[in-house]
Structure 1
């Protein structure tokens, strides 16, 4: 069937429009990367756009050569892995339970979860609670307080509710317990939603800094976000990380762009491996039969 002139014009317009959207989306990231590799003079004069000017990696050398940076980076990896594992276990089990329409007290459990989306104790009560539980200056102050996201819980609940009940009934007839049905039937069929939740929780944990800023006092326990925050705020100076005085002005000119690149890079490397599950994982539980 031959396309009409209007259809071809629409396709051309659509392609041009989407290319413009892609460019506007990528431009800030490309500009940040270009600034991170540019020299002080070009940055301060505003001559850096998409291509580095006066190629310079002094700031990268200073930060990557600091032992504290790598120690804090390892802390971030540890916090992210532990927090994501705890969050996935809690979210999956809670969502699977409240997805059962015959569960006694189901509406109460859902109501309690949703209530926490709108109301909480506040910053000071949370701080007093964490301190009274003896979790300050420990990993648990980072990974436990935000272990369960109600938004993610409701997405998984909706997904489990839309799974065919016949599969679980057949598994129960074959002698599987509720735990057997969950681990041998439900979870193998839920790889897309689980991968999506892993992405949500891991990114949130990786980028988190306020909990560590609030509950951690020992520098050896800081995540890398606190290290980079201190570099930007000037708490950790260039000279204290081993940089010479001549490098201090260069570091000050592009420290923000370098820290953004170093923080975002691991997420960008991992995202392509879970991207194929991202859209399907969220949308699978969004339509009811």
Structure 2
């Protein structure tokens, strides 16, 4: 499903003074999916149909500053505010208990939600992300965007540079059309200029390291990790710690996959998620 088709299936709703893009599909078991940096909920476009077929009602949203949601220019973005907005969406859409699926930036939002109300989250599935701040290995471009030169570099970013850097965290080729859709989503309303502000999540992870580590390691619900081991940012080195710290969790580790399992191995990822969620 291309980006244009994905957008037509959703709507923008006002939450806490901001307009966020939200999409709901299917009927049955509530499942909320959170995307990563720097893309959007469209990352889940190949996953959602499988979950719907398995009997899930999926809720996907573009977090503030991403995709089709508002992108305030001088805003101080934070993981805590993103969690506030997810909770506001749950209230608006009358979602009580829900399963939670998250990738990359979204895993930090998920950890904050687990720290607040773990009983509300029936089960949790996480894809490659910085679950442990000390193991996070941002690519060189992210380091630069997070530095003093970030605002200037963000303005100079174009589709060619964006695509090259995204491919650097993928272990398997993906269609050019998909990468173009990712760029289209990022660049809407000059969203690529916001990268230095959005990357403050790296600081949030360091500041809230212990809170978020506890929220994950003390979570008592069913837990699945779908993890690309060849991810240079959050790959096998994170997987090793997860296996040690969370021996009760289930793991799906597609061989030869990098940072985006749901994009690089969509069928295997969707099957693993459907089997875990539709119980």
TM class by smaller structure: under 0.3
Structure with more of its chain in helix, by fraction: 1
Structure with more of its chain in strand, by fraction: 2
Q: Which has the larger radius of gyration?
A: 1
